Chain A
Amino acid sequence: MTLARLRLAALVAVLCLAAAPFLVSSFSVTLLNYIGVYALVAIGLALLTGIGGIISFGQAAFVGIAAYSSAWVSAVSGYSPWLGLCLAVVLTCSVAAFLGLITLRLRGHFLSLSTIAWGLAIYFLFGNIPTLGNFNGIAAIPPIPIGSLKLSGSAQIYYLIWAIVVVCLVLSYNLLNSRMGRALRALRGGKILVESLGINAFRVKLAAFVIAAFLASLSGWLYAHLSTFISPSPFGAEMGIEYLMMAMVGGSGSPIGGVLGAALVTLLKNGIQDYLPLITKGASGELEIVVFSTLFILFLQRAPRGIVPFVARFMPQLRHVAPGTIAKLPVRAQPAPGYPLLIVQDVERRFGGLIAVNHVSFEVNAGEILGLIGPNGAGKSTMFNLLTGALRVGQGQITFAGQGICGQSQSHIARAGIARTFQHVKLRPRMTLLDNVLLGAHPRLHAGLLRGALRLDRVEEASAHAEALRQLARVGLSDDPFMLAGNLPLGKQRLLEIARALAADPLLLVLDEPAAGLRRQEKLRMAELLIALRDEHLTILLVEHDMEFVMGLVDRIVVMDFGSKLCEDAPAAIRADPRVQEAYLGSIA
């Protein structure tokens, strides 16, 4: 399926939506209205939870803030619902930004628990503010006027709701295919990965959080003027969970899944309400909840990833067509060969009583490949993490390109020009090769959220794509840039990581065991690539314990054992050194 056919399918879907009020009963139109309203929240959750990995139980509270804002402006104070929309969006996004600033640094379940906490606090607040009608709510909310037309009938507001849904869908997909969207999609790869790419994870999370709240505020505004009456109950924990269900059922990784989930959950609830009384006589509303929750649990047990990933196999893969002439991204000047690019001075790091790195010093000179080797448990990985900022240096100094980098954040060090790879490959398996490499170029690009969503970033994106394709070609992976990274064999995944690191235009490439798990042929291939990169004046620091791989490749070797530096020399001298032989082969007990 091509882009043209996808556009055709989207057009048909929009036409169907437009024709619906003429074809179905007015009750069905009302149902569709609610589906649209819920879908907005679910799209936000698809971005926040499905893609960003931040589970929020509190979206219903955001919907509530917006609904109450607009109801208060229009029904209580008598101003236009459009003014209500302004207040709804501003207030909801401000509250979200405030809550996000406080809570988004929380880890894992602490974060989702906090969403329950503020969700409930806000919910209880609604019922206790007299001007908002306490638990009785606000009635007689006026319809939204467009010119002289008042959208009071369900078929009239229908077009407004679904126009907003479609626009939001398009904007979300645009966003996902932009610089910030890629950063958002990378979040689930873990903080270490994201920060190593020079991305400020917290800012990306905050942006996603506010975007989700923005979508919830649109939903709340529409909800208030659609139902003309609001009370606290639809903004409580139950609804918050229902929104989450919609996103998860639809397939939480895709905005369209939010719409599908909202439709499915709403229709299912409606169906249960209709048919349950026929099966069990006198069944109460509570039995609906039992059936509904049970279905949801069963669903999560069988298909924790939702509908869309299941259907996605039949969906088209978008293939970018490169335009003719493109401006190149600016590149850094590499330092003169021999310049001491990285200076490690007397560095120490302890874990509890264990000294993992014990007063180690060495230098990496521009234009060379330095191997840092040693047997398992020698402290190489710790040294590596200290260099890249993943761990804090206990004592000592690390200087990179003339700047002290001790105590700097990982993303700061990455932006300073140290690009790394991982011993256990960290790629985003469900992103294409191209997107993975584009992630590496993140700090070199500038497009923000809005430019991404409105597709004003196309010139820069074209340059970035060209650069990414160039790096893929450099490591020999240009055959199919639209393949998913997870489908590559390990050897090529390691090459892809290097391409991603190269896309950051680094001064120093640090590789963590690049040969681990590779077959002999793959190792040879890797060694050839690294030598080619050095010939292009790139500086490389290599942490390895595969001696065979290191020997033929590097210019100098630093050997570590028991956390200390054992010796430092050219490869041939290292091999002949009896201390190294003992460290590697072990002593005779």
Chain B
Amino acid sequence: MDGTIAGFLAVDGIATGAIYALVAIGTVLIFTVTRVIFIPFGDIAAFTALTLAAIDSKKMPGTLGLVAALAILAFLTEAGSLARTRRLRQLPRAALIYLLLPLAVVGAVWAAIPFAAYEPVRILLALALIMPIAPLLDRIVFRPIASGSVLLLLVVAVALHFALVGLGLIFFGPEGVRTEPLTSFATDIAGIPIPGQSLLIVLAAIAFSLLLFLFFDFTVMGKSLRATAVNRTGARLMGIRPARSGTIAYLLGSVMAGVSGVLIAPVNTIFYDSGFLIGLKAFVGAIVGGLISYPGSAIGALFVGLLESFASFQDSALKDVIVFATLIPILLWRSFASKQIDEEVEE
């Protein structure tokens, strides 16, 4: 391997890593606020790519039907729980949040698709359509078991991923998609070619991380999310509803996953089931950050991207073996690094 190849692999790895980083940050966000390890996050990214590809070709994306179906389910779940706790007074509000709002998004996107001439508009439409999915799934799947153990939530998240893969095939079909590159710009540094798309990916990852940081530090809503993550009981005693924080976390996370889906679609062919490996590798990155640190997760995700890039050069068949086998020493390191805290908690 000479310097140019190494440089090329590094550029490729950093771009892939930046995509994982977006998903990883979303994963950490949702885990800290809701304790759910949201494995289906990669699916959200893949669905965004598939949605965008459909909109690009002026077809109605399957996401429209998916969101509508989830909205109806979520509303029925909420109505059922309101009826059981005899709080039917809140039914109109539930209908607004879980039924009308998502359906309004579906309707608006549906109406706008034929007129979306510009790519940025189409991307926005795809993101808007993808955003309600995770919060609705939260209401249907996780809210009833919110107080369960992290492990129960994890098992359910994994099962949910399989359901989503099946739904993906039903709503999007088996064909893979590859969208148009967002830019044809290209440059090179020291003889190493750098595609504009890679630059765009890295810039987007930095921009969204920065936005999230600003949100956390400068808005009361952002602070309330952090508070829920840091101390649930403390947050409740201040009147912060963990369920509401959860919804916001899912919305924000979906944006991160959606953006990563938009960015990866021109680079890799995306199928309805491509999400699993994206999500899992992002998740590996998140674990490097101990599932609590945002910068740690971003660095971890970059590391995974680089590892994968170099591993596939060495032996493309074994790249996944290498990535997942590397996870074990990382887990060991994380587990022992956080031991000190554990002892204090026990006290």
Tell me if B162 and A284 are in contact (CB < 8 A): no
Tell whether A327 is near chain B: CB-to-CB under 8 Å.
no
Measured in the bound complex, the distance between the Cα atoms of B261 and A52 in whole Å is 39
B145 adjacent to A114 (CB under 8 Å): no
Does A103 count as interface, using CB distance less than 8 angstroms? yes
Given A120-B320, A124-B320, A286-B166, A57 contacting B158 (CB threshold 8 A): yes
The verdict on A297 contacting B332 (CB below 8 Å), with A112-B151, A125-B321, A284-B170 known, is no
Q: Check A118 against B165 for contact (C-beta < 8 Å).
A: no
State the CA gap A278–B284 with chains docked (Å): 41
**Which one of B212-220, B232-240, B322-330 is at the interface?**
B322-330
Q: A117-B324, A351-B344 are in contact. Are A112 and B154 (CB under 8 A)?
A: yes
**CA A245 – CA B325 in complex, angstroms?**
25
Chain B residues within an 8 Å CB radius of A385: 347
Shortest distance from the beta carbon of B57 to any chain A beta carbon, whole Å = 23
Which residue in A57, A117, A192, A288 is a CB contact (below 8 Å) of B346? A192
Quick one: given A114-B331, A118-B328, A121-B325, are A290 and B158 in contact (CB under 8 Å)?
no
Shortest Cβ distance from residue B170 to the other chain A in the assembled complex, whole angstroms: 6
Interface residues of A in 382-436 (CB under 8 A from B): 382, 385, 390-392
Instruction: Kindly state whether residue B156 has any CB partner on chain A within 8 Å.
Output: yes
Contact: A300 with B162, CB < 8 Å?
Answer: no
List, in ascending order, chain A residues with CB within 8 A of B152's CB.
300, 304
Any A CB within 8 A of the CB of B96: no
If A107-B335, A290-B170, A297-B160 touch, whether A55 touches B151 (CB-CB below 8 Å) is: yes
Interface set, chain A 91-134, CB cutoff 8 A to B: 102-103, 105-114, 116-118, 120-121, 124-125, 127-128
Determine the main DSSP class of B at the interface with A.
helix
A128-B170 contact in complex given A108-B151, A294-B163, C-beta closer than 8 Å: no
A241-B328 in contact (CB<8A): no
- Among B151, B170, B344, B347, point to the contact of A109 (Cβ < 8 A): B151
Q: Decide if B144 is an interface residue (CB 8 Å cutoff).
A: yes
> With A106-B332, A241-B162 given, is the CB distance from A286 to B150 under 8 Å?
no
Task: State the Cβ distance, B341 to closest chain A Cβ, in Å.
Answer: 11
A355 part of interface (Cβ distance < 8 Å)? no
Known: A114-B331, A284-B169. 11 other contacts (CB 8 A): A103-B332, A106-B335, A107-B338, A107-B339, A109-B150, A113-B327, A245-B159, A293-B166, A296-B159, A300-B155, A391-B347
Q: Which 8 A-B pairs have the closest CB atoms?
A: A290-B166, A293-B163, A117-B327, A289-B166, A286-B169, A121-B324, A286-B166, A121-B325
Which chain B residues have a beta carbon within 8 Å of chain A's beta carbons? Answer: 37, 141, 144-145, 148, 150-152, 154-156, 158-160, 162-163, 165-167, 169-170, 280, 283-284, 287, 291, 317-318, 320-321, 324-325, 327-328, 331-332, 334-336, 338-339, 342-344, 346-347
A residues contacting B by CB (< 8 A) are 55, 57, 102-103, 105-114, 116-118, 120-121, 124-125, 127-128, 192, 238, 241, 244-245, 248, 284, 286-290, 292-294, 296-297, 300-301, 304, 351, 356, 381-382, 385, 390-392
Please list 20 pairs of residues, one from A and one from B, whose beta carbons are closer than 8 Å in the complex, sorted by A's number. A106-B332, A109-B150, A110-B287, A114-B328, A117-B327, A124-B318, A124-B320, A125-B318, A127-B317, A128-B318, A284-B170, A293-B166, A294-B163, A297-B141, A297-B163, A300-B145, A301-B145, A304-B145, A351-B347, A391-B347
